[in-house]
């Protein structure tokens, strides 16, 4: 097809669409529809608004009593009955002695070391990952209340235990 045939086909399509969309003769395009008998028999709009407003006010005034939820979505156990919960709050568990602290591997890992050049050398900050989040520590800072930072080197950090004075060295995983 040539450009002339494209133009002729497009023009014919536009003309056909225009003729199909024009209203029939004798009908005004913007005239409102004739009112039906059912709309005349219906209640006036102002009484309908008043009826809806009273319905909404009655709905707002109705209050429900608080009901304790049957489960806690943040725990994997069933909710305690109210009597058990009151006993647990009233009597703290003093019968079991506290568990002894075992010097296990710390739950802290070295994620990285940041260096800040200074006039008197390089100041290093250790980036530690712990259960409480990311910690940025320097020499002398406490970590989780159990360790003190003794030294921060290029690829490692040395922690001093506050309980027994032992040293723990954390290195970057390579």
Query: Where is pLDDT greater, at 98 or 15?
Result: 15
Q: Rounded to 10 degrees, what is the CA torsion of 26, 29, 30, 35?
A: 60
pLDDT of residue 28: 57
- Exposed (0-12), middle (13-18) or buried (19+): which is 168, by Cβ within 10 Å? middle
User: pLDDT of 116-153, one tens digit each?
Assistant: 888 888 889 999 888 888 889 999 998 888 889 999 98
Residue with tokens 């395009």: 29
- Asked if the structure places residue 151 within a domain, the reply is yes
pTM of the model: 0.40
> Which of 160, 162, 159 is CA-nearest to residue 171?
159
- Asked if the structure places residue 134 within a domain, the reply is yes
> In whole angstroms, what is the distance from residue 11 CA to residue 32 CA?
33
- Structural domain of 117: 109-171
Total structural domains in the chain? 1
């Amino acid at each position: 097809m040539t450009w002339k045939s494209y133009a002729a086909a497009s023009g014919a399509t536009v003309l056909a669409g225009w003729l199909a969309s024009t209203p029939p003769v004798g009908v005004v395009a913007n005239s409102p529809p004739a009112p039906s008998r059912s709309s005349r028999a219906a209640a006036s709009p102002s009484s309908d608004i008043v009826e809806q407003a009273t319905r909404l006010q009655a709905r707002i005034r109705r209050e429900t009593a608080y009901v304790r939820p049957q489960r806690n979505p943040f725990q994997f156990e069933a909710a305690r009955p109210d009597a058990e919960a009151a006993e647990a709050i009233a009597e703290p568990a003093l019968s079991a002695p506290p568990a002894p602290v075992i010097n296990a591997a710390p739950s802290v890992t070295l994620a990285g070391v940041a260096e800040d050049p200074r006039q008197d050398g390089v100041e290093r900050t250790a980036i530690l990952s712990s259960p409480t989040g990311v910690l940025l520590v320097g020499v002398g800072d406490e970590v989780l209340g159990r360790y003190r930072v003794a030294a921060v080197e290029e690829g490692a950090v040395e922690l001093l235990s506050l309980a027994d004075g032992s040293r723990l060295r954390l290195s970057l995983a390579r």
